[in-house]
């Protein structure tokens, strides 16, 4: 049976090759996965032109996935350096990589990333506009914005952030508010500025049907961007954020009418006590579509440690229903991340995702922890290193401080509770020798 998108196939009762791959990875029934995709509750971002892709599913009942942001900027335009970060991200288990390049002719990096990456690749076409057309922002036309959406789709991008929900009504509500940090979304701020300078509707909203036609042709998943995401804990859950979320729900239904897959992007910065209710609100207003969150960062005072603030919020968000976490590095709010920053961000995000999967009861999530606990009980150090999220760091820490009794560590030595319990439970009561 013929189909154009993964969602259309799912609705026609077809289990695609990508669905089979995802079902096998998740340890679930392929038919059950197909039904969730038909309902829009799971997406498989899989552009027809991304030939190196190893398909990955995002959504209800699946493992929480993580995304890594990369890309060149005006001050740091090193394509090879960003590709090295991409290779590291794949090696460390990232499920998706977003190219957030915002300077010059970005297509070289984007095309090379798509060519080499088995992880899904995402972009934000509006970032590319000023550099690609070599124009001032206000001079770029609606058709030129749409032309970049088609170009990115043709280049093999699997999902695109489209800030379509900041329409004139949403913008008017934002202007009536009293935000501490205004609009902190780069794409959202660009489109808000374009709308204000030209006194026109957001072209991504006005010509949304044309964007859907492009996405349908290449099977690009739309990630509805949250231009009004809170950039401080004070601004969380305000009227602008909720107004935009309502519009996102409407846009999600319009995408599904054309069999285009959709994710919803969310906050941002948010106090711990508001996270669970925000996840519920998104799922209600956006009809169960997969939810993709940046953090959320649960405090604003930790520059240099925002991978930790984001991991705290991300774990709670995912345990409460979020499906996809965007990593945050220690360099957030400060500079472009280095390789070491990328690693720290990925590890923190993977910890948050896995902790949430245990809480959600995702099949198989606890098995990994149980195996680690069994290795610790046996004082099997090699097995512990094999199971560690970061084996290199775990092994290095142990080798930097070796104990006299090699079965223990230098924290407790012969007073090691595990060692002593093993002896006692094994019938050896000879004084802990």
Q: Quick one: how many helices (H) and strands (E) in the chain? A: 19, 10
Measured in whole angstroms, the distance separating CA 222 from the mean position of its chain's CA atoms is: 13
Question: How would you label 45-77 residue by residue, b for 16+ Cβ within 10 Å and e otherwise?
Answer: bbbeebeebebbbbbbbbbbbbbbbbbbbeeee
HSE of 59, CA atoms in CB hemisphere, 13 A: 30
Neighbours of 259 (CB within 10 A): 22
Annotated binding site for substrate: which residue ranges?
69, 98, 127, 163, 185-187, 226-229, 265, 292
Residues at the annotated binding site for Zn(2+)?
269, 333
Q: Which residues are known binding-site members?
A: 69, 98, 127, 163, 185-187, 226-229, 265, 269, 292, 333, 409, 412, 416
Are 293 and 276 in contact by the 8 Å Cβ rule? The answer is no
Q: Binding site residues for [4Fe-4S] cluster, as ranges?
A: 409, 412, 416
CA distances from 317 to 44, 63, 159, 306 (A): 21, 14, 22, 16
**Residue 328's Cα: distance from chain center in Å?**
10
* Three-class secondary structure of residue 375 per DSSP: helix
Parallel, antiparallel, or unpaired: how do β-strands 42-43 and 65-70 relate?
Answer: unpaired
With the C-alpha atoms ordered 396, 397, 400, 406, is the resulting torsion angle positive or negative?
A: negative
Cβ pair 325, 66 in contact under 8 A = yes
Its sign, for the CA torsion 210, 212, 217, 218, is: positive
Omega before 296 within 30 of 0, i.e. cis: yes
Length of the chain as a residue count? 433
In sequence order, what DSSP letters do the residues of 395-409 get, joined into one string?
Answer: HHHHHTS--SSTTS-
User: What is d(CA 143, CA 106) in angstroms, rounded to the nearest whole number?
Assistant: 19
State the SS3 of 29-92. CHHHHHHHHHCCCEECCCCCCCCCCCCCCEECCCCCEEEEEECCCCCCCCHHHHHHHHHHHHHC
Angle at 396 between CA 395 and CA 401, to 5 degrees: 100
Helix (H), strand (E) at residue 294 = strand 291-294
Among 162, 151, 201, residue whose Cα is nearest residue 185: 162
Contacts for 24 with CB less than 8 Å, ≥ 6 apart: none
């Amino acid at each position: 049976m013929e189909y154009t998108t993964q969602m259309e196939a799912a609705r026609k009762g077809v289990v695609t090759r990508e669905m089979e791959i995802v079902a096998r990875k998740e340890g679930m029934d392929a038919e059950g996965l197909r039904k969730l995709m038909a309902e829009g509750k799971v997406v498989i971002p899989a552009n027809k032109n991304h030939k190196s892709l190893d398909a990955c599913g995002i959504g209800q009942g699946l493992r929480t996935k993580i995304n890594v942001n990369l890309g060149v900027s005006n001050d740091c335009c090193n394509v090879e350096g960003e590709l090295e970060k991409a290779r590291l991200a794949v090696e460390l288990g990232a499920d998706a990589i977003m190219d957030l390049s915002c300077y010059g002719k970005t297509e070289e990096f984007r095309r090379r990333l798509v060519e080499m990456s088995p992880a899904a690749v995402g972009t934000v076409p509006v970032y590319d506009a000023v550099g690609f057309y070599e124009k001032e922002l206000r001079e770029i036309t609606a058709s030129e914005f749409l032309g970049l959406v088609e170009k990115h789709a043709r280049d093999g991008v699997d999902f695109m952030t489209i800030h379509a929900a900041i329409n004139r009504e949403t913008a008017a509500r934002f202007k009536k508010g009293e935000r501490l940090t205004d609009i902190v979304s780069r794409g959202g701020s660009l489109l808000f500025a374009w709308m204000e300078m030209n006194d026109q509707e957001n072209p991504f909203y006005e010509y949304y049907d044309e964007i859907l036609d492009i996405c349908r042709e290449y099977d690009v998943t739309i990630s509805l961007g949250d231009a009004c995401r809170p950039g401080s804990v004070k601004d969380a859950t305000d009227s602008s954020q909720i107004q935009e979320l309502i519009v996102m729900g409407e846009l999600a239904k319009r995408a599904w009418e054309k069999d285009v897959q959709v994710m919803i992007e969310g906050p941002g910065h948010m106090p711990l006590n508001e996270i669970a209710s925000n996840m519920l609100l998104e799922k209600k207003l956006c009809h169960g579509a997969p939810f993709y969150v940046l953090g959320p960062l649960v405090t604003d005072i930790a520059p240099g440690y925002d991978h930790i603030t984001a991991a705290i919020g991300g774990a709670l968000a995912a345990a409460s229903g979020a499906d996809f976490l965007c990593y945050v590095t220690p360099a957030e709010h400060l500079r472009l991340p280095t390789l070491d920053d990328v690693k720290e961000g990925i590890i923190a995000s993977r910890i948050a995702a896995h902790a949430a999967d245990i809480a959600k009861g995702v099949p198989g999530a606890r098995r990994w922890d149980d195996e680690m606990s069994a290795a610790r009980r046996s004082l099997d150090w090699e097995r512990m290193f094999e199971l560690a999220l970061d084996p290199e760091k775990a092994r290095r820490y142990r080798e930097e401080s070796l104990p006299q009794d090699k079965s223990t560590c230098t924290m407790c030595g012969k007073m090691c509770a595990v060692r002593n319990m093993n002896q006692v439970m094994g019938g050896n009561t000879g004084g802990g020798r």
